[in-house]
Amino acid sequence: MALPPGHPFPISKYSLLKERLLSEGVLSADDLIEPEPIDSAALQLAHTGEYLHKLNSTGLSAAEQRRLGLPWSPELWRRSLRASGGTLRATRAALETGLAGNLAGGTHHAFADHGEGFCVLNDVAIAICTLRAQRAIESAAVIDLDVHQGNGTAAIFEKVEEVFTFSMHGERNYPLAKMRSNLDIPLRDGVGDTEYLDTLEQHLPVVLKQSQPDIAFYLAGVDVAAGDRYGKLALTEDAIRCRDRLVIETVRARGVPLVIVLAGGYAATRERTAELHAHAFREAVAYERCARCNRAVVEGRQLIANAQTLIESGQQPQGSDQQKLNVLEKGRTPAFDGMADELADPSKHEQRSEHAPQRHLGAAFQPIDRP
């Protein structure tokens, strides 16, 4: 979709991000799913009929377009439908697999009855309402770390007890009239790495404890970066990556499915914006890969413990247990299928020790001593 020359919204960041993640091998083509546009039944769960009717037919007035910050066009509408479809699809995938993301979305300034701040539809609200209506989830937590308050999301769920909205944002930044989230943490202008990460580390576990969500949504806006055109905070790139990792680990360590959506980012160039957005996906993939290994390590240890008990009581492991032990002795378990390279060379597996207490897999799979 083309915007008028000089328009401040970096519309090309989406395709740049996708290209970057594919070229780095963070994602493969098989990991990507082209979403369907969201359907009108789902839209109606989060937006008013009057607003949807306008979007579907006449379009938005000049005043409404000014508030939105984007020129209305049928193409913008189609794009918004597909972006919301992406978040819903990612939500279903996260419920199945634990973690998924949309390489778009996080349009948190969209209210039930109007759009603003570059946001036509509230994709996260639509996904939550849809899955609640289908009884796939009861509760959800929204972790909104875009530098701007998630005003639309806060308003949509203000009276919905089962949806916990958490927003950490610039106090003196847009939107000037803040809505009420379940937990709002306003930050003063110029906040840097340590204060930001300490504040997040303090509040995030409380959010998850209080909300006990069936699923969490992470709006990983990168407009917190130092030098962002609309940001006013001063985070370094390292801190953004730490932030992403902190959210992913804190949520996933509790076994809560997580959906990552982009939200805002207005760095000096579109390439730079895409680069900053890529961190959340790099961290997500690294974490999940590691979690898979850690699960297998636990499984392997259990198997060894069982076998040792049998051997101590004078019996031999039988059948499939014996087969699994044979595999274990060679340093592989069925759970590691597809990870042969990493097993052959543990340094390839994961470079970050904090993710991988059992990084050196050999140590976890010591061959058992046969009597």
Q: Which residues bind Zn ion (CB under 5 A)?
A: 146, 148, 221, 223, 264
φ/ψ (deg, to 5) at 128: -65, -45
Of 237 and 299, which has the nearer Cβ to Zn ion? 237
- For residue 242, give both structure tokens: 């730490």
Of 130 and 165, which has the nearer Cβ to Zn ion? 165
**Taking the complex as a whole, how short is the minimal distance between the CB of residue 263 and Zn ion, in angstroms?**
6
CB 297 within 8 A of CB 332: no
Which position has the token pair 């308003």?
Answer: 155
What is the spatial distance between Cα 231 and Cα 88, in angstroms, rounded to a whole number?
A: 28
Of 86 and 264, which has the nearer Cβ to Zn ion? 264
**Taking the complex as a whole, how short is the minimal distance between the CB of residue 101 and Zn ion, in angstroms?**
17
3-class SS of residue 183: strand
- For residue 308, give both structure tokens: 């040792």
- For residue 216, give both structure tokens: 């969490």
Of 244 and 350, which has the nearer Cβ to Zn ion? 244
**Taking the complex as a whole, how short is the minimal distance between the CB of residue 260 and Zn ion, in angstroms?**
15
Of 200 and 361, which has the nearer Cβ to Zn ion? 200
**Taking the complex as a whole, how short is the minimal distance between the CB of residue 194 and Zn ion, in angstroms?**
22
Of 101 and 221, which has the nearer Cβ to Zn ion? 221
Continuous H helices in 268-355: 270-312, 319-329, 340-344, 346-349
CB 8 within 8 A of CB 229: yes
Of 85 and 221, which has the nearer Cβ to Zn ion? 221
CB 168 within 8 A of CB 187: yes
- For residue 190, give both structure tokens: 């110029």
In 3D, which of 198, 202, 206, 235 has the Cα closest to residue 220? 235
**Taking the complex as a whole, how short is the minimal distance between the CB of residue 124 and Zn ion, in angstroms?**
14
What is the spatial distance between Cα 186 and Cα 172, in angstroms, rounded to a whole number?
A: 8
Q: Which residue is nearest to Zn ion (CB)?
A: 264
**Taking the complex as a whole, how short is the minimal distance between the CB of residue 2 and Zn ion, in angstroms?**
22
Of 128 and 219, which has the nearer Cβ to Zn ion? 219
Strand partners, 100: 259
**Taking the complex as a whole, how short is the minimal distance between the CB of residue 9 and Zn ion, in angstroms?**
11
Q: Angle CA(80)–CA(82)–CA(88) in degrees, nearest 5?
A: 105
What is the spatial distance between Cα 44 and Cα 331, in angstroms, rounded to a whole number?
A: 53
What is the spatial distance between Cα 246 and Cα 193, in angstroms, rounded to a whole number?
A: 13
**Taking the complex as a whole, how short is the minimal distance between the CB of residue 118 and Zn ion, in angstroms?**
8
